[in-house]
Copies of this chain bind each other. A is one copy, B any other.
Amino acid sequence: MRIFVKLLLLFSLFPLAFSNENSSSYLIPRPLIKNIDDNVNLHCTSWRFAAETNNLAPWKTIPAECADYVKDYLMGEGYVVDVERVSEEANVYASSFESNADGKDIWIFDIDETLLSNLPYYMEHGCGLEVFNHSKFDKWVEKGIAPAIAPSLKLYQKVMDLGYKVILLTGRRENHRVITVENLRNAGFHNWDKLILRSLDDRNKTATMYKSEKREEMVKEGYRIKGNSGDQWSDLLGSAMSERSFKLPNPMYYIP
């Protein structure tokens, strides 16, 4: 009976909640500080869910009120636990196949926020609160010191051990090939089959378009794309999609 009353309450709250732009305005009043904290947490968790499931319209910066929330998530245990889980699930899936006798099974990895972490850069630039600055970010890339995301390195080694060919497909440009290779090697990544960077021809394409075209080429060459790991939906959606895609968390930026 109590459940029925709660449900009545839930459904009667829906229309009211939807009619307000500030969706937290209908919450039952509670002591002020707790209330503000709870509301921000609720609002920003909801925002993160929407971002990570690709429900949001294209966005350039994180909501200002979520700046601390995003930083806490990235620097606390939340991000680590999420990244671990993605790698573990991908590992279970990758291990579920029989041998790949013809060597045609491939696994695609994106690089930034998938294999390498740019958190040291983003921590100095508001973790998504500042509009992306190409020239500043290029300077960071050119240092070649982005650390490995350890669970991704573990998955990388695992799929290689299982006999998958590894393709790195990144939005980084060709002029960063040398430093990218150096950075990847220093971070522990070796023996990939192919590293595909954006050429001048790909300059004006969305990431979805550019990456879809590259995947189509792989399929035409007879490869089977068994797995694809990326932190952006533009790494994963489009044409010639992988049999399974693994979405790493990234609450800092959106690439169309």
Contacts and interface: CB of A to CB of B under 8 A. Distances in A.
Contacts of A3: 120, 123-124
Interface stretch (A40-48, A105-113, A159-167, A175-183): A40-48
Contacts of A42: 77-78, 81
Nearest to A6: B75
Contact of A18 (B54, B150, B246): B150
Contact of A14 (B57, B85, B123, B151): B151
A140 to B, nearest CB: 13
B24 A93 contact: no
| Range, interface on chain A | 35 or more
Oligomeric state, in number of copies? 2
A45 B6 contact: no
B50 A13 contact: no
Nearest to A27: B77
Q: Which of A15, A24, A49, A78 is the most central at the interface, judged by chain B CB atoms within 10 Å of its CB?
A: A49
A55 B117 contact: no
A14 B52 contact: no
B54 A23 contact: no
Interface of A: 3-4, 6-7, 10-11, 13-15, 17-18, 23-24, 27, 42-43, 45-47, 49-50, 52-57, 75, 77-78, 80-90, 92-93, 117, 119-120, 123-124, 147-151, 154, 245-247, 249
Given A17-B84, A53-B53, 6 more contacts: A3-B120, A18-B151, A42-B78, A46-B81, A55-B89, A55-B90
